[in-house]
Amino acid sequence: MTLTAHLHTAIGSLKRNKGRSALTMLGIVIGIASFILINSVGAGAQGLILDLVKKQGSNLIGVLPGASDEKGPPASAFGINITTLVNADADAILRSVPGVVAISGYVRGSQSLSYGDINRSYQFSGVSADYVEVESSELVSGRFFSAEDDAGLARVMVLGANVAEEYFADDDPIDKIVRFNGEKYMVIGVLKKRGTTIFSNQDDTIFIPLLTAQRTVLGIRHLAFLRAKIDTPENIDSAMEEVKQLLRQRHHINDAANDDFSVRNTEEALGILESITGALTLFLTAIAGISLVVGGVGIMNVMYVTVSERTYEIGLRKSVGARRRDILIQFLTEAVVITLIAGVIGIFVGAILSWGVAVVARAFDFEWSLIITLNSIALACLISGIIGVFFGVFPARTGAKLSPIEAMRYE
């Protein structure tokens, strides 16, 4: 028989058992759809991270309390409260490290904000006067607070774009008095809408002077972290080394192994995030692989049933001259056809689900790209074919080995 004849026979068998064929394909469809979806989401997430880094700027370094190895996050990233980083460290870095043009300390929390009949809890950030320059942010109205506001524990605040829109709509919020943490604060500025960055979403955040946040709201004297802007990307490595040496001196550390801080730049943060997303993508792909194996086992079982049902046919074909190879190819073709059809359906289902993820992500203001590569489609088709061959060959060999006389006696 020619390959065309084998394909015609395989398709005819599928048509005769439509319900069973559909259930057989289901596991492969789910597995391939998951494979396409996971690869698309992984590529979209990495693209999003790259865009966020570009938006944040590539000439930033961050200092976090707590030690870490070169590739892992510091202890503070896991919610452990470490108080080794203080305001004086930021002042010393700005004053002593060449290339540092602006620096801001950060503390964060959540407090109620009320104005008129609106009263809800919002995330706030206590930051230094250099925040706008460090983060490359812009104001649409008013001004940012000054170093004098910070030193004087001024009750002033700058609103993120979404906060200003919710509380004041079309009204001008500048010089309006609101109640924050039970005290009166004056709104002095509104930041330009920016969307989510790699670290946070400033549009949904309230900004108050760092010392005001530390001493009157949180009751602390340490920093959650700090960020410094370097004059040129070429000076980042040297600035990081200078910062490390300075902090070791200030914290009385003689051995780098005993560092109580971690210094990172945005490229390193990107590498860590990419490794995390890559590992997560690999883990989820492995789960999808389990679905494919389960689907393959289902195909093998169904093919064994098919061979059993068509034992007389196998005997009849062998009695008129069909060779063992002909029988093997016939049933192997049927298994491959099933998996390839299921693979194509799975690709379309995965593409639709990937499109749905992109739509939802964009609805939450993420600049998410729908990425489905030809490589992932080709790989999905290849995986489908391999599964068909691997799980189809065992029942096919069983059918091919049948004796024609015994097979014709089967019924």
**pLDDT per residue over 64-101, tens digit each?**
888 766 555 555 555 556 788 999 999 999 999 999 99
Q: What is the C-alpha to C-alpha distance for residues 61 and 263, in angstroms, rounded to an integer?
A: 7
User: What is the reported pLDDT for 59?
Assistant: 83
**Residue with the larger pLDDT of the pair 30 and 101:** 101
**Residue with the larger pLDDT of the pair 73 and 375:** 375
Q: What is the C-alpha to C-alpha distance for residues 367 and 216, in angstroms, rounded to an integer?
A: 37
Q: Quick one: 156 and 46 in the same domain?
A: no
Q: What is the C-alpha to C-alpha distance for residues 113 and 327, in angstroms, rounded to an integer?
A: 77
Q: Quick one: 228 and 294 in the same domain?
A: no
Whether pLDDT at 349 is above 60: yes
Q: Quick one: 134 and 252 in the same domain?
A: yes
Least confident of 69-83, 142-156, 248-262: 69-83
**Residue entry with tokens 């910062």:** 243
User: What is the reported pLDDT for 15?
Assistant: 67
Whether pLDDT at 142 is above 90: yes
Q: Quick one: 237 and 89 in the same domain?
A: yes
Q: Quick one: 178 and 217 in the same domain?
A: yes
Quick check: 391 and 342 in contact, CB under 8 A? no
Q: Quick one: 245 and 295 in the same domain?
A: no
| Cα atoms in the 13 Å half-sphere on the side-chain side of 209 | 21
**Residue with the larger pLDDT of the pair 137 and 324:** 137
Q: Quick one: 249 and 280 in the same domain?
A: no
Please report whether residue 77 resides in a domain.
Answer: no
Please report whether residue 266 resides in a domain.
Answer: no
User: What is the reported pLDDT for 248?
Assistant: 92
What's the total number of domains in the chain? 2
User: What is the reported pLDDT for 336?
Assistant: 80
Task: Find which of 30-34, 207-211, 277-281, 337-341 is predicted with most confidence, using mean pLDDT.
Answer: 207-211
Label residue 337 exposed, middle or buried (CB < 10 Å: 0-12, 13-18, 19+): buried
Which residues make Cβ contacts (< 8 Å) with residue 319, sequence separation at least 6? 404, 408
Q: Quick one: 157 and 287 in the same domain?
A: no
**Across 379-402, average pLDDT:** 73
User: What is the reported pLDDT for 282?
Assistant: 76
Please report whether residue 249 resides in a domain.
Answer: yes
pLDDT tens track for 180-234:
988 999 999 999 987 666 556 788 899 999 999 999 999 999 999 999 999 888 8
**Across 30-38, average pLDDT:** 84
Alpha helix (H) residue ranges in 174-263: 210-212, 236-250
Please report whether residue 67 resides in a domain.
Answer: no
How many CB atoms within 10 Å of residue 287?
12
Q: Quick one: 216 and 143 in the same domain?
A: yes
Please report whether residue 173 resides in a domain.
Answer: yes
Q: Quick one: 246 and 280 in the same domain?
A: no
**Residue with the larger pLDDT of the pair 373 and 327:** 373
Which of 224, 259, 294 terminates a domain? The answer is 259
For residue 123, give the nearest of 84, 150, 162 by alpha carbon. 162
Which of 213, 229, 259 terminates a domain? The answer is 259
Task: At 66, give phi and psi (nearest 5°).
Answer: 100, 140
Please report whether residue 202 resides in a domain.
Answer: yes
User: What is the reported pLDDT for 227?
Assistant: 92
User: What is the reported pLDDT for 187?
Assistant: 95
User: What is the reported pLDDT for 32?
Assistant: 85
**Residue with the larger pLDDT of the pair 383 and 152:** 152
Band (pLDDT 50/70/90 cuts) for residue 293 is: confident
**Across 386-401, average pLDDT:** 71
User: What is the reported pLDDT for 76?
Assistant: 53
Q: What is the C-alpha to C-alpha distance for residues 17 and 15, in angstroms, rounded to an integer?
A: 5
Which residue segment(s) compose the domain that 137 sits in? 83-259
**Residue with the larger pLDDT of the pair 223 and 298:** 223
Q: Quick one: 110 and 237 in the same domain?
A: yes
User: What is the reported pLDDT for 215?
Assistant: 92
Q: What is the mean pLDDT of the chain?
A: 80
Please report whether residue 58 resides in a domain.
Answer: no
**Residue with the larger pLDDT of the pair 31 and 154:** 154
Please report whether residue 72 resides in a domain.
Answer: no
User: What is the reported pLDDT for 210?
Assistant: 95
Q: What is the C-alpha to C-alpha distance for residues 140 and 86, in angstroms, rounded to an integer?
A: 31
Q: Quick one: 180 and 101 in the same domain?
A: yes
Which of 235, 259, 283 terminates a domain? The answer is 259
